[in-house]
Amino acid sequence: MNRVKEILKKNTMLFILLIVALFFGWKTNGVLFDPQNVTNLIAQNGHVVILAVGMLLCILTGGNIDLSVGSVVAFIGAVAGKLMVTYKMNFGLVIVICLVLGILIGMWQGFWIAYIRIPSFIVTLAGMLLWRGVALIILDGLTISPFPDAFKMIFNSYIADTFGGSINVTCMLAAVLACLAYLFVFINGRRNRQKKGYAAEKLLPSAGKAGVICLVILLAAYRMAQFQGLPTILVILAAVVGVYTYYTSKTVGGRYLYAVGGNEKAAKMSGVNTNRVLFFAFTNMAFLSAVAALVCVARFNSAAPTAGKNYEMDAIASCYIGGASAYGGTGTVMGAVIGAVFMGLLNNGMSIMGVDSNWQQAIKGLVLLAAVAFDVISKKKSR
């Protein structure tokens, strides 16, 4: 019994996510888990996941948030539209320009935050107004479309199935490979630890966790294989999540993010260049905003000056739902992803159920508070 409690406590949000998913599955008569809807869910929320990952790094450094995210998405989208659609520039070159532009925006904001020490809230609030304004200027208030197909192929299509058949074999194959890779890392890590004589985690719970993860991957892949197969956005997401999970948990740079957020003075007295850490977090945020911008323009097939409204709020909410501390120092990339999926599920589920959109807003607000409150209270009790 105690062990069950322990597992529940460690993965509170995951279980809440599961309950909400089952609830909507039941209320929508299973439409939620339809092959097409699973694919939709991923496509609709890809940008939120990307932004949440970036936002997490900012929040880790001590509760700093970036409010300019939505405006940067609009601005980069506008640049992409202008260059690709109006000036017919090569789409590969445009992608590079957009990403570099994102980095430059991040460096600009990061400079004020990290080196001049203006609170991030203020700098990014200014950025929110600035980049939205620039987007409006570039687009002259109009929407640009359509984007070239080759560009959309990269961000908004499906990995071609080379085998044929009733279901998409490539998709299943990729899932199986992903599971095998995961299991390999898992088993290898355990064996390494045992070989060197460190106390490994208990076999049953960790193997159970690995099993559940593989099962979810395979089930999701099976659903998608019944539709059009593996969406390219999912590959991009997997890459982003993978890279940043690795960065935050395995590298010195990632360690410094947690150190600065956990106790900036102590980090400083340990020789950590805290300014540089802060600078990096915000530069990276704007870079990922640029990636999200490309994903968005490809999906909507247009660049609009109003794009990206409230994206920053979705990203921030995802991080907090995913267990990041508002004061910095704790939180994981996977948590932020779970938070993003949770938000997406809520939107998607309520839409299918036909809940009035005005009500959706209000319900979302309450559910968000309830989810975080539940997490906070359950953690308090354990102390």
Partner 1 sequence: MEMKGITKTFPGVKALDDVNLRVEEGGIHALVGENGAGKSTLMNILSGVYPYGSYEGEIIYEGERCEFQKIKDSERKGIVIIHQELALVPYMTIGENMFLGNERGSRYNVNWNATFTQAEELLETVGLSEPPQTLVKDIGVGKQQLVEIAKALAKDVKLLILDEPTASLNESDSRKLLDLLLTLKKKGMTSIIISHKLNEIAYVADKITVLRDGMTIETLDNEAHVIDEDQIIKGMVGRELTNRFPARENVAIGEVSMDIRNWTVHHPLAPERKVVDNVSMYVRRGEVVGISGLMGAGRTEFAMSIFGRSYGVNISGEMTLCGKKVKLTSVQQAIDNKLAYITEDRKGNGLILSNPIRVNTTLAKMDQVSRFGVIDKDKEFEIAETYKEKLRTKTPSVEQNVGNLSGGNQQKVLLGKWMFTEPDIMILDEPTRGIDVGAKYEIYSIINALAKEGKSIVMISSELPEILGMCDRIYIMNQGRFVGELDREEATQEKIMTLILKQGAKQ
Q: Which residues bind partner 1 (CB under 8 A)?
A: 192-193, 196, 198-199, 250-253, 255-256, 258-259, 262-263, 265-273, 329-330
Nearer to partner 1, 13 or 259 (CB): 259
Nearer to partner 1, 329 or 349 (CB): 329
CB of 153 to partner 1, least distance (A): 34
Q: Report how far residue 360's alpha carbon sits from residue 382's, in angstroms, rounded to the nearest whole number.
A: 33
Nearer to partner 1, 26 or 246 (CB): 246
Tokens 């560009």 -> residue? 151
A 10 A CB-CB count for 345 gives 18
Nearer to partner 1, 129 or 185 (CB): 185
One-character DSSP codes across 2-47 = HHHHHHHHHTHHHHHHHHHHHHHHHHTTTGGGSHHHHHHHHHHHHH
Tokens 């208030």 -> residue? 141
Nearer to partner 1, 143 or 273 (CB): 273
A 10 A CB-CB count for 264 gives 18
Is 186 within 8 Å of 193 (Cβ atoms)? no
CB of 265 to partner 1, least distance (A): 5
CB of 243 to partner 1, least distance (A): 13
CB of 273 to partner 1, least distance (A): 7
CA 310 to chain centre: 15
Q: What is the DSSP letter of 81?
A: H
Nearer to partner 1, 127 or 329 (CB): 329
CA 32 to chain centre: 21
Is 276 within 8 Å of 252 (Cβ atoms)? no
CB of 252 to partner 1, least distance (A): 5
Per-residue H/E/C for 203-219: HHHHHHHHHHHHHHHHH
Tell me the C-alpha to C-alpha distance, in Å, between residue 255 and each of 125, 178, 316.
28, 26, 21
CB of 370 to partner 1, least distance (A): 25
Q: How many CA atoms lie within 13 A of 176 on its CB side?
A: 7
Nearer to partner 1, 3 or 250 (CB): 250
Q: Report how far residue 253's alpha carbon sits from residue 266's, in angstroms, rounded to the nearest whole number.
A: 16
First-to-last C-alpha distance (Å) of the chain: 18
CB of 199 to partner 1, least distance (A): 7
CB of 205 to partner 1, least distance (A): 16
Phi, psi values for residue 226, rounded to 5°: -75, -20
Nearer to partner 1, 357 or 382 (CB): 382
Nearer to partner 1, 29 or 270 (CB): 270
CB of 383 to partner 1, least distance (A): 10
